[in-house]
């Protein structure tokens, strides 16, 4: 929901850094893999109860996620790069709730529900993207992407905001996870209604 509004703010500095990294020969795919490792490390330290370190690694992961796209735009985006980016993103998204599930046994049911709603949201996102691409539809609301990026209430910005809140208020994880799971379900319903109108 907020991603498209954030683009005009975050894209200019990211694009400048991306051009500089590309000029140095840095690969976008390498940045994606480094970011994935950092994101998985965040889940591990969260599972150990180190929520402050988890927060720092989450933010660092997002920096790398922004830089890999900027480098790709400065060079030439590839289909494999787009594939790798979306796989890394969803691996990161589901790993963080798992970390909280390991951090405290009472978190586990809520973590499982949140992961399940992430999966369904991801499936709706990717299914929409595949069909939209087959139909030749395009959008630039989220910047240059290698796939059709359909909007929704629960997007990347909202997910990271929820993760930050979980790290700052780990005792509130059940409530935050429940609230965000509801947003994910609403997003799936919203995207399904949009698909029903768009794909007749």
Cβ(164)–Cβ(58) under 8 Å?
yes
DSSP H stretches of helix in 24-78:
28-47, 51-74
For residue 129, the model assigns a pLDDT of: 85
Question: Is the pLDDT reported for residue 37 higher than 80?
Answer: yes
For residue 142, the model assigns a pLDDT of: 46
Question: Is the pLDDT reported for residue 96 higher than 90?
Answer: yes
For residue 52, the model assigns a pLDDT of: 98
| Location of structure tokens 């998204």 | 93
Q: What is the largest CA-CA distance in the chain?
A: 49
113/181 Cα distance (integer angstroms): 7
Average pLDDT over residues 176-197: 93
Q: Which residue has the higher pLDDT, 135 or 115?
A: 115
Question: pLDDT tens digit string along 74-95?
Answer: 988 888 998 999 999 999 999 9
Q: Which two tokens stand for residue 91?
A: 């691996």
Cβ(67)–Cβ(12) under 8 Å?
no
In order of their start, the domains of the chain are 3-198 (1.20.120.1760)
CA dihedral 27, 30, 35, 37 (to 10 degrees): -170
Cβ(130)–Cβ(146) under 8 Å?
no
For residue 51, the model assigns a pLDDT of: 98
Question: pLDDT tens digit string along 132-179?
Answer: 878 777 655 545 555 556 667 778 889 999 999 999 999 999 999 999
The pLDDT mean for the chain works out to 89
For residue 165, the model assigns a pLDDT of: 98
For residue 7, the model assigns a pLDDT of: 67
Q: Percentage of residues in the chain with pLDDT exceeding 90? A: 68
Cβ(5)–Cβ(58) under 8 Å?
no
φ/ψ of 142, rounded to 5, equals -110, 25
134/181 Cα distance (integer angstroms): 30
């Amino acid at each position: 929901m907020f991603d498209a509004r954030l683009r005009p703010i975050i894209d200019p500095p990211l694009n400048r850094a991306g051009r500089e990294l590309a000029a140095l020969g840095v690969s976008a795919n390498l940045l994606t893999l480094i970011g994935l490792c950092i994101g998985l490390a965040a889940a591990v330290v969260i599972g150990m109860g180190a929520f402050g370190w988890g927060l720092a690694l989450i933010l660092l992961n997002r920096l790398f996620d922004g830089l890999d796209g900027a480098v790709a735009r400065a060079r030439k985006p590839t289909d494999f790069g787009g594939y790798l980016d979306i796989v890394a993103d969803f691996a990161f998204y589901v790993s963080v709730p798992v970390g909280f599930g390991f951090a405290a046994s009472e978190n586990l049911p809520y973590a499982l529900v949140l992961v399940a709603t992430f999966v369904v949201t991801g499936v709706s996102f990717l299914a929409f993207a595949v069909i939209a691409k087959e139909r030749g539809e395009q959008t630039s609301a989220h910047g240059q992407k290698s796939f059709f990026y359909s909007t929704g209430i629960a997007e990347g910005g909202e997910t990271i905001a929820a993760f930050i809140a979980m790290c700052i208020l780990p005792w509130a994880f059940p409530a935050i996870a429940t609230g965000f799971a509801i947003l994910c379900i609403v997003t799936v319903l919203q995207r399904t209604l949009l698909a029903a109108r768009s794909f007749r």
